[in-house]
Amino acid sequence: MNETPALPTAPQSTVLVATDADHVHDEVAAALSGDHQVVRVHAGAEVLAAVTTHQPVLVVLDLQIGNMGGMATCLDLRLEQRADRIPAQRIVMLLDRDADAFLAHRAEADAWLVKPVDALVLRRTTREALAA
């Protein structure tokens, strides 16, 4: 029996999701796991270490995460980048309402969208953020 050897597949890029809400993680993972390996942390204070460990191509931050919110986490990542302690990160923030776009802009997020997560919008936003 002749079996064709499997073609090597390119390793999936990693997306880091920071949320303490299981449903948000599930929505993001369902939308992005076909193209990316989705890694989760539960607190903003865990993001910097996870960025160093996993080297994600994209960080998805829930605005409302425990002990260090999405805005503070985003600002922390930008400060670390400017100090050349971590590579540049693309950051998408998940907001609770349209008015929070001001916060995402101030935190220097590359893109944002309002929850609940729409899979098509998240995939498009991810593609656009990574292409920028």
What does the pLDDT look like over 39-85, one tens digit per residue?
999 999 999 999 999 999 999 999 999 888 999 999 999 999 999 99
Residue 45 lies in a domain: yes
pTM value surpassing 0.85: yes
3-class secondary-structure state, position 18: strand
| Side-chain half-sphere CA neighbours of 38 within 13 A | 19
Give the CATH number of the domain where residue 54 resides.
3.40.50.2300
Residue 37 lies in a domain: yes
State pLDDT tens for residues 83-128. 999 999 999 999 999 999 999 999 999 999 999 999 999 999 999 9
Domain range holding 69?
13-131
Count of the separate structural domains present in the chain: 1
Residue 3 lies in a domain: no
Residue 29 lies in a domain: yes
| 117 CB-near residues (< 8 Å, 6+ apart) | 24, 27, 28, 31, 94
